[in-house]
Structure 1
Amino acid sequence: MVTYQLAHIRPHWELIWDPEKNEYTPEEHSYAEITNNLIIELSKLDPPLKYHNNEDKLAEYCKLLLKWDIKKVGPRWIGSPYTSILEQGGFRDLNQKELCLAICGRIKAALDRGQLHFDDMEESHRTMLADVIAVTLFHRSDYS
């Protein structure tokens, strides 16, 4: 669900889990190494209390600097697809700091709700987490 949407960048989008090494098996032209590194990086972060604030920073970049016609109505941004907002906002996100904090916060929110596995998450939350991870991997891809 995460890497399939990036198959146009790297052909080996399906990752193979190695239970003995507790990581994805590195493979040429795959997302395994980037994903393994991201998991390690995320494990060292303190989850933010309000991960939407991290995502809002990316949306504000699109609104103010890119002049996108978007606005926040209640808790939601309208005017463009949310994933596009995060993707484009991510170009100003040094080392994907805000994206990583958003991922970490979303994972903590799922764990706080007793959702210990990705497949246990509510569909909309699972989709959004997958999209934020995919955007982060996209920004970390070397397109080869």
Structure 2
Amino acid sequence: MIDFFERSHFLDYEVLRPLSHIRAHWELSSGYDGCHFEIEEDSFAKELGELIDELEETSIPARYHDNEDRLAEYVREKFKQEINKVGNRWVGNDYRIILQDAGILDIDEKNLVQSAKGRIVAAQKRNQNHYDDMEPGHRKMLGVILTLILFHRADNA
């Protein structure tokens, strides 16, 4: 799994920079002593490395969209948001905001982690074997999901 993310030009910018208001050091450097990334104070590098390890061990979901749909359903039911699924897309609010709101209810970020794993496997099935090689829209959505996982875990730390 680390090979999918290592030496990425986009990973830190798309996943950690949006969290720079929480922890200022968002740029990643290669790690050493068994760490995927260099651990710096006021950084999510350690947590991102741990998340990558978790993704390695996470089972592959049958359909990662089911996990995301479950999250959107939470938002519709619990927050009474007027969102609906039209075809394969949720409408009524920005999809990133829907997932962000749902993360509050996603115990241990289980659905977000499953969604991330599914998106990675889907990319690999299309011979996109590195984060930077993913189709840009799918890469950015995976980045949003990874950011949300780290955000919600930081909130609980």
Q: Same fold (TM over 0.5)?
A: yes
C-alpha displacement at 1:12, in angstroms? 0.7
Structure 2 contact 31–39 (Cα < 8 Å) conserved? no
In structure 2, do the counterparts of structure 1 residues 78 and 130 end up closer, same or farther at CA, with 3 Å as the change threshold? same
* Alignment partners' CA distance in 2, 1:20 and 1:126: 29
**Structure 2 residue 72 is the aligned partner of structure 1 residue 59:** yes
Indicate the residue corresponding to 2:132 in structure 1: 119
* Alignment partners' CA distance in 2, 1:119 and 1:41: 20
SS at match of 2:90: strand
* Alignment partners' CA distance in 2, 1:112 and 1:19: 30
Indicate the residue corresponding to 1:48 in structure 2: 61
Q: Which runs of 5+ in 1 are unaligned?
A: none
* Alignment partners' CA distance in 1, 2:68 and 2:156: 24
Indicate the residue corresponding to 1:136 in structure 2: 149
Number of residue pairs matched? Answer: 144
TM-score (norm 1): 0.94
SS at match of 2:15: coil
In structure 2, do the counterparts of structure 1 residues 112 and 42 end up closer, same or farther at CA, with 3 Å as the change threshold? same
Which residue among 20, 38, 45 is the counterpart of 1:7?
20
* Alignment partners' CA distance in 2, 1:19 and 1:27: 12
Moved over 4 A (4+): none
TM-score (norm 2): 0.87
Indicate the residue corresponding to 1:21 in structure 2: 34
* Alignment partners' CA distance in 2, 1:132 and 1:47: 16
Structure 1 contact 9–143 (Cα < 8 Å) conserved? no
* Alignment partners' CA distance in 2, 1:89 and 1:49: 21
